[in-house]
Copies of this chain bind each other. A is one copy, B any other.
């Protein structure tokens, strides 16, 4: 008979103690295990995760090194901290706020390719420009890298302000160009994994998850001027919004007359 764990282990191949540590870290992060609180005993965790004592201890050891847990012989194991403050990058919900939030970011260009291959475009993402520049940059917050950007920028846009495009985020500069009329700004968010380059730049492990955000700007002539892939550090990514737009206000008001309970 195979127990639950061999089962889980079969599924992921990643060392068990890392998997366990990962879950426990999340519990601290989400405050399911609160600051200063005593967590379950090793034996309870053994049962819950269905792994050996030593494996739980290895996981605890990792979190201890990260300063999240503090184990005391005879007393128990306590939460001694939370994962270092994540400076959430709040993925904005419209272009204006995307722009204002990144305008003053510290960026470091790590690669420029003057005659880059055209990026591949989806069905409805417009047609390619006549030539592209490839810019790879890293953006920092509090000295920590939090996103790697791979940008294909239409060459004729790039040459209009070489200097600035190689020093500051491109988006604000493009929006400043009054003669450019954007028809669409397609954004797609998925979960990806760090390739060697990204892992190097974001200072995370190869294969660790990232939030991958693709942004394609299409002008009114149907040309994809700006095709970028943002690889966010998993911890500095969040997206918040209210799905209820104004129109609902009418409905709300209408209903308010009828019932006012709860």
> What residues make up the interface of A, taking CB atoms closer than 8 Å to B?
4, 8-9, 11-16, 18-23, 25-27, 31, 48-49, 92-95, 98, 120, 129-130, 154, 156, 178-196, 199-200, 203-209, 211, 215, 219-221, 223, 225, 234, 237-245, 248, 251-256, 258-262
Contacts and interface: CB of A to CB of B under 8 A. Distances in A.
Given A19-B206, A49-B196, A220-B256, 17 more contacts: A12-B199, A12-B204, A12-B205, A16-B206, A19-B207, A22-B206, A23-B196, A94-B243, A154-B262, A178-B255, A182-B252, A184-B242, A186-B242, A187-B241, A189-B240, A190-B239, A191-B211
Given A13-B18, A244-B183, A190 B49 contact: no
A12 B207 contact: yes
Contacts of A129: 262
A109 B241 CA distance: 28
Given A181-B255, A252-B220, A262-B156, A26 B204 contact: no
Query: What are the 9 tightest A-B residue pairs by CB atom distance, in nearest-first order?
Result: A12-B205, A22-B207, A181-B255, A209-B209, A19-B207, A181-B252, A19-B206, A185-B243, A179-B259
Tell me if A's interface is mostly helix, strand, loop or mixed: mixed
Given A13-B205, A14-B15, A255-B220, A26 B195 contact: yes
